[in-house]
Structure 1
Amino acid sequence: MTWVERMNKALDYIEDNLCTDIDMTKAARIACCSNSNFQRVFSIVADVSLHEYIRRRKMTLAAFELQNSNIKIIDLALKYGYDSPESFTRAFNHIHGTTPSSARDKGVILTAYPRISFLLTVRGVVPMNYRIESKDAFVVYGIESIMTTDNGENFNSIPQFWLDALSDGRIDKLTRSTNMIPEAPNNLCLVNAICDYRPVEGNNSFPYMLFAYKTSKSQTEGYEEVIVPAATWAIFRTENHTVAGTSEAIQNLTKRVYTEWMPTADYEKIDGYELELYYGNGSTCWSEVWIRVKPKR
């Protein structure tokens, strides 16, 4: 079963349980990945957080029921998992721009969000450059923060983490701790990022670290260390971008990895230990996304 098929199976489960408690762990298991990875990748590929997508689907179906039945608003609120008519009304108004009671009026404009289906994207004219490399285990160290995918918060909290660490000097300190200068041939930055390398509390949470590679010159005291196991890596390169455009470039590349490369590749993704490496400076930067893979059976 391909990645696209697994993701659609997981969405089938979510769609079938919009009126019950959705077990996110079960949905992730259907997609053959961790809870945090499932929600993070969904957000990147679908351009909306999984929680927001579920809310949109619930409110779409709720609007249909209001217009085609005599169900009471309090009963509809309970049906879709809201504790009170007030909380249901707030969610409904957020999506439709009107109240549930007004939704029954003739001529009222409502918003419908259809069920998402993941498809293989065919872009024959746009090349997808990648390479496969096997690497021995290595050690990184750095500054850790715990991120959450709730309401797509990671899209804001990760860039903010970088900004905070830049402004308060933590990135400069981490850079100095390497006792190295950037390598001239490939211009790799000394501080990069790794995520999803250990389990953390909260099904929607994952660890994210601004890291440096540990060498004999490194001064690692006071930093978290992560042993990255030996693995085969699929490595993807962005187009050139500015420093400010790094997040957008990586998100666009990641979306292409999942919708274009993975459905047709002879490899399957292995959860955990995803790397982002940064190269260049100023207006001429590029990035790489590293994911662990194994050959398909």
Structure 2
Amino acid sequence: MISALNRLVDLVEESLGGDFDVKAAAKELGTTEYHLRRMFSSLAGMPLSEYVRRRRMTVAAAAVVRGEEGLLSVAVRHGYGSTEAFGRAFRAVHGAGPGDVRRDGGPLRTQPQLRFRLTVEGNLPMDTRIADQPAFRLVGHAARVPLVHEGVNPHIQQHVTALPPEEHLRLKDLGDTEPAGLLAVSDDLDPDRAEGSELTYLHGVAVSPGAAVPGDLDVIDVAAGRWAVFRTSGPYPQALQTAWAATATEWFPSNPWRLRPGPEIVAVLERAADFSTATCELWLPVEPSVQ
């Protein structure tokens, strides 16, 4: 995966003068766009689309400062049809318009070319299993919320705490299949996992396809497939978020699996009364990386 990401960076450099075709890049690298975007954003700390934009504006800034051609020529050469569109993108990265930068020589916010390297990690084993799961349904209460990478997501917290205690008990009684227990489900995520992008969050349980579902509950149908299941225990949600990050930095690069589209599920198996610590299972939909 490390070599594939470095080749991806090279492909970005080759396309700075026009649109970058992520789907074609994924095909060349023998993986899927879904998996490639997730691995890049997890390891680079930024969405792939943002990296492409920053690199394009870094290279464009050099042409702007040199002043050897008009701003329209610079805009067109870097994939923009007008100086207005180019100016908006340029200002979003550098904090100043191209005309100001040409006159003053700055400010410039340079995005260096990334290079991924393998570091020796994994000194702590990850408690993982692969589950072949038949089709099931996720039922519960759903809401659209922004993605938060670290700490408690206040929007999710508000959504869950607004439910009366008896509703949690009703949901637990409905669950009849794995993943077991009350579930925190993230679905319809932004491919780049950008901070602040919206996702569908469902607080609920898993039921078999033929189970009766009350009409007041939201439903997500999940097709049969394989899942990588990671068991975590410790401070909540820090231990869970650390494991989530480690799937990209350690587990996927060293195992013959890749992510496939589908909901990402957290099953809370045990927890302290104040939810300061918890034992959880993180369920990620996967498929073999070599088809």
TM range (shorter): 0.7 to 0.9
Compared CA separation, residues 131 and 104, structure 1 to 2 (3 A): same
What per-residue deviation string (whole Å, max 9, x for no partner) do you get for residues 96-147 of structure 1?
23332233356644221112233323226x4132322444425232255689
Alpha-carbon offset, residue 256 of structure 1: 2.1
Match of 1:130 in 2: 127
Match of 2:87 in 1: 89
Task: Point out where structure 1 has 5 or more consecutive residues left out of the alignment.
Answer: 148-152, 182-187, 198-203
CA distance in 2, matches of 1:116, 1:172: 51
% same residue: 24
2:250 is the alignment partner of 1:260: yes
Q: Please give the secondary structure, in 1, of the residue aligned with 2:261.
A: strand
Alpha-carbon offset, residue 8 of structure 1: 2.8
2:213 is the alignment partner of 1:220: yes
CA distance in 2, matches of 1:53, 1:63: 15
CA distance in 1, matches of 2:169, 2:30: 36
Compared CA separation, residues 287 and 68, structure 1 to 2 (3 A): farther
Compared CA separation, residues 32 and 296, structure 1 to 2 (3 A): closer
Match of 2:276 in 1: 283
Matching residue's letter, 1:190: L
Match of 2:193 in 1: none
Alpha-carbon offset, residue 220 of structure 1: 1.6
Q: Please give the secondary structure, in 1, of the residue aligned with 2:92.
A: helix
Matching residue's letter, 1:85: T
CA distance in 2, matches of 1:69, 1:7: 34
Compared CA separation, residues 254 and 173, structure 1 to 2 (3 A): same
CA distance in 2, matches of 1:250, 1:30: 33
Match of 2:184 among 186, 192, 195: 192
Aligned partners of 2:186 and 2:265 also within 8 Å: yes
Aligned partners of 1:39 and 1:50 also within 8 Å: yes
CA distance in 1, matches of 2:18, 2:210: 55
Alpha-carbon offset, residue 73 of structure 1: 1.3
Q: Please give the secondary structure, in 2, of the residue aligned with 1:272.
A: coil
CA distance in 2, matches of 1:144, 1:27: 34
Match of 2:10 in 1: 12
Aligned partners of 1:194 and 1:210 also within 8 Å: no
Matching residue's letter, 2:261: G
Match of 1:178 in 2: 172
- Normalised TM-score (structure 1): 0.71
Alpha-carbon offset, residue 212 of structure 1: 0.8
Compared CA separation, residues 115 and 277, structure 1 to 2 (3 A): farther
Q: Please give the secondary structure, in 1, of the residue aligned with 2:221.
A: strand
CA distance in 2, matches of 1:22, 1:192: 34
Q: Please give the secondary structure, in 1, of the residue aligned with 2:253.
A: coil
Q: Please give the secondary structure, in 2, of the residue aligned with 1:240.
A: strand
Aligned partners of 2:136 and 2:209 also within 8 Å: no
Task: Point out where structure 2 has 5 or more consecutive residues left out of the alignment.
Answer: 190-196
Structure 1, 75-84 or 172-181: larger mean CA deviation: 172-181
Give the 5 Å matches for 1:94-113.
94-105=92-103, 108-113=106-111
Compared CA separation, residues 98 and 79, structure 1 to 2 (3 A): same
Match of 2:229 in 1: 235
Aligned partners of 1:178 and 1:214 also within 8 Å: no
CA distance in 2, matches of 1:175, 1:46: 41
CA distance in 1, matches of 2:107, 2:6: 30
Compared CA separation, residues 288 and 41, structure 1 to 2 (3 A): farther
CA distance in 2, matches of 1:212, 1:294: 27
Alpha-carbon offset, residue 209 of structure 1: 4.6
Alpha-carbon offset, residue 57 of structure 1: 0.7
Aligned partners of 1:6 and 1:30 also within 8 Å: no
Compared CA separation, residues 75 and 86, structure 1 to 2 (3 A): same
Q: Please give the secondary structure, in 1, of the residue aligned with 2:282.
A: strand
